[in-house]
Amino acid sequence: MVLHWLHSGVRSGVALTAVLAACVAGMPASAQQAAPQGNPQRGKELSYTCLGCHGVDGYKNAYPNYSVPELEGQHPEYLAAALHEYRDGDRAHLTMHSQASTLSDQDIADIVSYFSGKPLVTSGKPQGTVPQAAQLCTTCHGKDGVGITEQYPTLAGQHPDYLARAIEEYKKGGRKNPVMTGMAAQIKEEDIATIADYFSRLKPSLSTESRPYTTLGEHEASRAGK
C-alpha cells in the first residue's frame, strides 16, 4: 500500500516506477519465486480447520476483536505470501502461526487455490471519489480495490475492521513487511478508518468461503448481500 508519505514524490512516471519497484523488492522471497501449482480439491481437504473461522460469514477474532478476513476472490499468490509470513513469524498471530507452522509449500499452494476461488478482476476504474487519505493506496491496491499484481492484496469489500487492524499491525510491528511498515508508520490515526471504510465499500467484493457441511456458512446468502 503506497500512502501519504510518498505523495510529494509521486509526481512523474519515473518516481512512480521507483515506488512500484520498491514494493516488489519488499515482497517476501516466497512471493518472488515460482510457487508450486495448487490443487483446489486437495486444498479443500486440508482446509477443514481453516473453515472453522474463515468459513463463517462475519466471524470475529476473539481478542483483539475484529472480523476474520474474507478470502474468496483474493489473489492466491498474496494468500500464499501471507501464509508464508505467518509460518515464518513475520506476522504475529498465535493461531495462524500454529496453523501455518505445519504446512509445506505444496500444502500452502493447495489451500490458497481452494480459498481464492475465482480471483476478482480489475475494471481499472475508480468507484466514486477516492478520499485523499486513500488515493495513494490505490497505486498498488487498485482504483477499484483489486491489487494491481498478484502479490498485492485485493481490498475491495474486505471487512473494514480487519483492514484497520492490518494497518495498525504494520504500524506497531505485528507485521514485518518492510514496505508496508514504512508506509503505515506515516498514516495518521484519524485516516485509518477513512481508508478502511472506502475499500470495504467497493464492488465486486471479496466474500467468505462456504462451509457446506454446516449451517454456519450461509455462503450464497452472504454473497447475495454484497
Counted domains in the chain: 1
Whether 133 maps to a domain, the answer reads yes
The CATH number of the domain holding residue 68 is 1.10.760.10
Whether 17 maps to a domain, the answer reads no
Residue 10's pLDDT is what?
A: 37
Whether 94 maps to a domain, the answer reads yes
Query: CA neighbours within 13 Å on the CB side: how many for 4?
Result: 13
Residue 127: exposure state from Cβ atoms within 10 A (0-12, 13-18, ≥19)? middle
Q: Which three cell numbers stand for residue 4?
A: 501519504
Give pLDDT < 50 ranges for the chain. 1-22, 24-26, 29-31, 214-226
Which 8-state DSSP code applies to residue 73? T
pTM summary value = 0.81
Whether 30 maps to a domain, the answer reads yes
Residue 62's pLDDT is what?
A: 87
Q: How far is CA 194 from CA 44, 116, 160, 213, in A?
A: 35, 26, 9, 37
Whether 16 maps to a domain, the answer reads no
Residue 17's pLDDT is what?
A: 41
Whether 114 maps to a domain, the answer reads yes
**pLDDT (tens digit, 9 = 90+) per residue, 69-105?**
999 999 999 999 999 999 999 999 999 999 999 999 9
Residue 33's pLDDT is what?
A: 59
Whether 91 maps to a domain, the answer reads yes
Whether 15 maps to a domain, the answer reads no
Domain that holds residue 132: 4-10+22-224
Residue 63's pLDDT is what?
A: 84
